[in-house]
């Protein structure tokens, strides 16, 4: 398991670091620049109690590209203490959600790895630890650029996270 986990993380790191960043628009450089955000989660609330649940720890890196597109990677321990990775090459963000300037709606879709025996049936469509993943979230951005975010993790839980912009 650890070998597949590290291989998946390594491949995504290569794709993220080696990706061609959008060239700066001479008229508005800020509009065409990628924005990197460091993510971490201090708490996850499960909708139902399970004696086997463990604390969930998450750290991630997200990139917002021009056109409000998102991609990223998160590393976390799942609710059962297993090391996992979620790689999402697809995503989007809708800023000023319902006219509320600091509020954004986000969605991501990608590949999840790490739910293996005896918990492989805890996520749908799992094959050898790999399964599709999708998350929707609401983010509230503070004046400093930091933000608080709530992720809806399907029918299982809510993850509360803090996002720090990288300059």
Q: Sketch the domain layout of the chain as residue ranges.
A: 2-15+35-166
Q: Print pLDDT tens along the chain (167 aa).
A: 555 555 455 444 444 444 433 333 445 555 568 999 999 999 999 999 999 999 999 999 999 999 999 999 999 999 999 999 999 999 999 999 999 999 999 999 999 999 999 999 999 999 999 999 999 999 999 999 999 999 999 999 999 999 999 97
CB contact at 8 A, 77 and 113: no
Q: What is the predicted pLDDT for the residue at 90?
A: 98
- pTM exceeding the 0.85 threshold for the entire prediction: no
Please name the CATH architecture into which domain 2-15+35-166 falls. Answer: Beta Barrel (2.40)
Residue 121, both tokens: 């049936």
Q: What is the pLDDT of residue 29?
A: 55
CA dihedral 132, 10, 108, 143 (to 10 degrees): 160
Exposed/middle/buried for residue 107 (C-beta within 10 Å: 0-12, 13-18, 19+): middle
pLDDT of residue 3: 54
């Amino acid at each position: 398991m650890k070998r597949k986990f590290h291989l998946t993380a390594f491949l995504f790191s290569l794709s993220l670091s080696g990706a061609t960043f959008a060239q700066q628009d001479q008229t508005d450089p800020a509009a065409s620049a990628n924005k990197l955000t460091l993510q971490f989660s201090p708490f996850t609330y499960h909708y139902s109690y399970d004696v086997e649940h463990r604390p969930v720890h998450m750290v991630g890196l997200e990139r917002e590209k021009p056109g409000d597109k998102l991609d990223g990677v998160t590393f976390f321990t799942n609710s059962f203490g297993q090391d996992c990775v979620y790689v999402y090459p697809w995503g989007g963000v809708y800023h000023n959600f319902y006219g509320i300037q600091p509020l954004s709606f986000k969605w991501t879709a990608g590949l999840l790895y790490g739910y293996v025996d005896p918990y492989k049936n805890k996520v749908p469509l799992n094959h050898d630890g790999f399964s599709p993943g999708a998350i929707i979230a609401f983010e509230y951005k503070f004046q400093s650029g930091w933000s608080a975010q709530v992720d809806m993790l399907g029918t299982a839980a809510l993850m509360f996270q803090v996002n720090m912009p990288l300059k």
